[in-house]
Amino acid sequence: MSEPAAYPQQQTTPVCPRHPDRVSYVRCQRCGRPVCPECQRPAAVGVQCVDCVKEQAKTVRTTRTVFGGNVTDTPGVSYAIIAICVAVFVLQTARPSVTEQILFDPGAARDQPWRFLTAAFAHATITHILFNMLALWMVGAQYLERLLGGVRYAAVYLVSALGGSVIYMLFTSPRTVPYAPPYESFWGPGTVGASGAVFGLFGALLVLNRHLGRSSAGMYATIGINAVIGFVVPGIAWQAHLGGLLTGAAVAGVIAATSSRERRRWQWPGVALVLVVLVAIAVAKYAASPAPLFG
């Protein structure tokens, strides 16, 4: 009895689909295709290929805070602000003329509007920067940035810094001195410091905690003590503190009022509206004041 001849089955060498010139006997745990070492990504069991990891990432929803921001365990924005302030202070110490170039002087800011913000990253003394950075770390890095997410937290800080400068200018008037014709107008001493922005974080904390039903008793005491110091100790721009506090509360109020999923599309237009109001106040103040001949 004859038997059919046994033909050997054709053997196919497994190769990586993304790199056909590379042999791989390791397969993706999700799609089962061969995957070379360059395309392997660690998985809970075995490895997955790059394509499967990308496809899976599309279906994973980013975790959000209660106010719509991305959840973060690392306060990167606070770290960045502290680093910038320290770097600027070192530069101020090495070159004192830098302070004159970035401080907030309403007269100079008419033609150099960046001063409304740059002053919030400069400081007068080592004690000044230490107190501000400590407050930023305790209130911002340890609480608000984690609560809001990095982008919304940065918006609160920067808009509050702007608000501190604007309200400082609102409470200040240019003085006209009959030095020699034509008269010279000036606004008095300029200001530096992150205090306005830090007070903005204080105001935001009050509003957000109230929205969440949390106590802010300690913060009320902190604000009260700083308010008294601002009026008692000379050389402190309490106007900037007030402006930052009100602005931070306003921005946080917008974020809290639009925190629901259905209203979140109005968050950034609301923040932009606060910004527009501040710009309008500054423009109106300039329009009602004589233009200085020097900053």
**pLDDT tens across 24-35, in order?**
888 888 888 988
46 vs 237, more confident: 237
Of 36, 60, 84, the residue that ends a domain is: 60
280 and 140 inside one domain: yes
Say yes or no: 206 and 118 in one domain: yes
Please report, as a single letter, which amino acid is at residue 208: L
Domain-located, residue 229 = yes
Q: Which domain holds residue 209?
A: 76-287
Identify the helix (H) or strand (E) that includes residue 175. strand 175-177
Q: Give the model's pLDDT for residue 170.
A: 93
What average pLDDT does range 95-121 have in this prediction? 93
Higher pLDDT, 12 or 61: 12
Res. 50: pLDDT tops 50: yes
> Is residue 20 reached through a cis peptide bond, with omega within 30 degrees of 0 on the bond before it?
no
Residue 236 lies in a domain: yes
- Strand ranges (DSSP E) for 7-110? 40-42, 47-49
What confidence score (pLDDT) does residue 289 get? 83
Classify residue 8: in a domain, yes or no.
no
User: Nearest Cα to 105, choosing from 201, 185, 176?
Assistant: 185
Taking only the tens place, the pLDDT of each residue in 198-219 is 999 999 999 999 999 988 888 8
280 and 139, same structural domain? yes
Q: Any idea which residue has 């830090």 for tokens?
A: 198
H/E element, 185:
strand 184-186
pTM for the structure as a whole? 0.76
Q: Are residues 161 and 222 in the same domain?
A: yes
The amino acid occupying position 134 is L
Domain membership flag for residue 10:
no
187 inside domain: yes
Whether residue 115 sits in one domain with residue 40? no
Amino acid occupying residue 244: G
Q: Indicate whether 29 and 154 sit together in one domain.
A: no
Q: Examine the pLDDT at 177 and tell me if it is beyond 80.
A: no
Verify that 30 and 164 share a domain, yes or no: no
pLDDT band at 56 (very low <50, low <70, confident <90, very high): confident
> Is 70 exceeded by the pLDDT of residue 2?
no
- Same domain? For 190 and 115 the reply is yes
Question: Cα 43 from chain centroid?
Answer: 34
Q: Is position 293 within any domain?
A: no
Shared domain for 48 and 84, answered yes or no, is no
Distance CA 79, CA 247 (A): 22
Half-sphere exposure of 27 (CA within 13 A, CB side): 7
Residue 23, helix vs strand vs coil: strand
Total domain count, the chain? 2
Cα 202 versus chain centre, distance:
15
pLDDT in tens, 244-286: 999 999 999 999 999 888 898 999 999 999 999 999 999 999 9
**Same domain for 140 and 264?**
yes
Within-domain flag for 69: no
Q: Cβ distance 159 to 208 under 8 Å? A: no
Of residues 71 and 120, the one with the higher pLDDT is 120
Q: Would the pLDDT of 125 be above 70?
A: yes
121 vs 20: which has the higher pLDDT? 121
Q: Calculate Rg over the CA atoms of the chain.
A: 29
At residue 109, the pLDDT reads 92
Q: At what angle do helices 150-170 and 238-257 cross, to 10 degrees?
A: 140
Q: What is the pLDDT of residue 64?
A: 78
Co-location of 150 and 214 in the same domain: yes
Strand partners for 23? 15
CATH number for the domain that contains residue 248:
1.20.1540.10
Mean pLDDT, all residues of the chain = 85
Q: Does any domain span residue 66? A: no
Stretch among 41-50, 87-96, 145-154, 241-250 having the lowest mean pLDDT: 41-50
For the chain, the distance separating the N- and C-terminal CA atoms, rounded to the nearest angstrom, is 113
Residues 31, 132 within the same domain? no
Q: Please state the separation of Cα 70 from the chain's center in Å.
A: 13
